[in-house]
Amino acid sequence: MVKFTQRQSGALNERLALKGLFDTMYRKITNELIRWKTSNNRKPLILQGARQVGKTYSVLEFGRSHFDNVVYINLDDKMAHSIFEDSINPEILISKIATFTKKSITKEGTLIFIDEIQSYPPALNALKYFNESAPEYYIIAAGSLLGVAVNRNEYSFPVGKVNLLTLFPMDVEEFLHATGNVELIEKIRVCFNQNAPMDSYYHKFLLEQYRNYIVVGGLPECVALYKNTGNFDLVRATQKELLTGYLNDMSKYNTSTGIKKTRLVYNNVTTQLSKKNTRFQYKMVKRGGRAAEFEDAIEWLVLAGLVYRVYNVDTVKKPLENYKNIDSFKIFTSDVGLLCASKDVIVEDVLHSSPHISDFKGGMTENYVCQQLICNNHACYTWNSDGIAEMDFVIQRERELIPIEVKSSDNSQAKALSVFMRKYKPEYAIKISTNNFGFENNIKTIPLYAAFCI
């Protein structure tokens, strides 16, 4: 059972006020947490991820289901900092944690959860000593701006002494779980694996669910509100609040001049995705803008988990990382729902595939696919052929380098795919569009709603 002290429950009240909405939330990260718990090589675990992706809820639910009790410490509460002052001895720290939380702690039955660990560096350093001297304790730490804090303030990170996991926004599979369409997930996977067309009724229904996901996105609070109210206006208002919170976060671990630049870049990402050439251009952030002026701002956003940077590769060989062009990349937002909200895209225009957003739809769809691929831990790259053709994504899947062409509709033209396949002769290629499943001419066709299967 999870219990909190009075001061801790105050910090959690707002976050857990919608817990009733979250009761049916399935998160795939739970399977990773179970593997961590049962691993013979278990170390203290750090769960990274942007704000509001569900780290706290996921860990608390995991603890409730798999431990006798959970001890929760939020280091945004400065009073909790005193636990990690003066001593690094794990047994002394355990005693302090028990006193602070008024909870008993056992080695096998208790999960110790340290939230917002980036707020107090000595707590991060303490994880190293738990790994070395008291590995029998189960400890999970979570941090929203951990990457930024470590890189910008030169905090000591316990390299090799902790396990790492990253939680992303919910993908379409988790969205279908949350919205009561669990049975359709298996249908999708069967069609994906067998290259067999989906029944036309379900295919149409799932394309509608895909468009709903584009509007709602994958942040758990927004998904819960949509599932329980069906009110897109309420979802959009919540997204606006979350965007304001993200902008406020940009003042943390940042210089006074860096705050303005970081916000400029973040606001400009959505504008650049509306262009036919979605490759990131500094001059579009500010007239005469250069890499030297904005590269730190981009790095901040990447480390905070608010954007994904996808590099272009000059040639397609293993490992792809060796052939990336550091001066040529695209930037996508971490959540497609926030992408739409940030530009006040009319909900009905998305739901009904209005031609009014034709310029924006291509970049929006690419952003969606990138989000699904990264949720599956794919390292994404792009490729182009001297301006003749551009491949939306190249990934390594099952030891093969696979090109992925993304279409926002049922457009059958795939010029870039043809150029790529003639040049590199991949095992097969993937085309994602509104078309049904199929396999022809060595091209695996996947409906947009099934991108999570890749």
Domain endpoint, select from 132, 166, 200: 166
Say what the pLDDT of residue 148 is: 84
Same domain, 247 and 118: no
Cβ pair 389, 415 in contact under 8 A: yes
Is 354 a domain residue? yes
Domain endpoint, select from 114, 146, 166: 166
Q: Which residues pair with 110 in a beta bridge?
A: 69
Same domain, 257 and 127: no
Same domain, 102 and 227: no
Same domain, 319 and 340: yes
Return the structure tokens found at 198.
């989906």
Is 69 a domain residue? yes
Is 333 a domain residue? yes
Give me the torsion for CA of 299, 338, 17, 20, rounded to 10°.
-120
CA angle 258, 259, 265 (to 5 degrees): 85
Say what the pLDDT of residue 359 is: 86
Q: Running DSSP on this structure, what letter comes out for residue 355?
A: G
Mean pLDDT of 93-109: 96
Domain of residue 67 covers 6-166
Is 374 a domain residue? yes
Same domain, 216 and 363: yes
Same domain, 191 and 160: no
Number of domains in the chain: 2
The answer to whether residue 277 scores a pLDDT higher than 90 is: no
Say what the pLDDT of residue 155 is: 63
Is 85 a domain residue? yes
Confidence of residue 338 (pLDDT cuts 50, 70, 90): very high
Same domain, 390 and 422: yes
Cα separation, 395 vs 19, in Å, equals 37
The answer to whether residue 291 scores a pLDDT higher than 90 is: yes
Same domain, 130 and 180: no
Same domain, 162 and 184: no
Residue with tokens 């062009």: 325
Cα separation, 368 vs 323, in Å, equals 25
Say what the pLDDT of residue 98 is: 97
Q: Running DSSP on this structure, what letter comes out for residue 67?
A: S
Range from 145-154, 291-300, 315-324, 379-388 carrying the lowest mean pLDDT: 145-154
Return the structure tokens found at 76.
């945004």
Is 310 a domain residue? yes
| Tens digit of each residue's pLDDT (9 = 90 or more) over 368-410 | 999 999 999 999 999 988 777 889 999 999 899 999 999 988 7
| Tens digit of each residue's pLDDT (9 = 90 or more) over 425-436 | 999 999 999 999
What mean pLDDT value characterizes the chain? 91
Say what the pLDDT of residue 12 is: 44
Same domain, 176 and 156: no
Same domain, 100 and 222: no
Domain endpoint, select from 166, 188, 219: 166
Say what the pLDDT of residue 11 is: 42
The answer to whether residue 163 scores a pLDDT higher than 90 is: yes
Mean pLDDT of 267-279: 83
Is 1 a domain residue? no
Say what the pLDDT of residue 4 is: 47
Mean pLDDT of 159-176: 96
Confidence of residue 345 (pLDDT cuts 50, 70, 90): very high
Range from 53-57, 88-92, 107-111, 413-417 carrying the lowest mean pLDDT: 413-417
Question: How far, CA to CA in Å, does 301 sit from each of 75, 76, 215, 428?
Answer: 22, 21, 22, 34
Mean pLDDT of 31-44: 97
Same domain, 135 and 45: yes
Say what the pLDDT of residue 156 is: 73
Mean pLDDT of 332-359: 94
Residue with tokens 């990336």: 324
Return the structure tokens found at 106.
């056992």
Residue 45's domain is classified under what CATH number? 3.40.50.300
Q: Is the peptide bond before 355 cis (omega within 30 degrees of 0)?
A: no
Confidence of residue 256 (pLDDT cuts 50, 70, 90): confident
Return the structure tokens found at 75.
């280091």
Cα separation, 248 vs 145, in Å, equals 12
| Tens digit of each residue's pLDDT (9 = 90 or more) over 185-224 | 999 999 999 999 999 999 999 999 999 999 999 999 999 9
Is 130 a domain residue? yes
Strands (E), 190-338: 307-313, 324-333
Say what the pLDDT of residue 179 is: 96
Q: Give the residue from 231, 217, 237, 260 showing the smallest Cα distance to 344.
A: 237
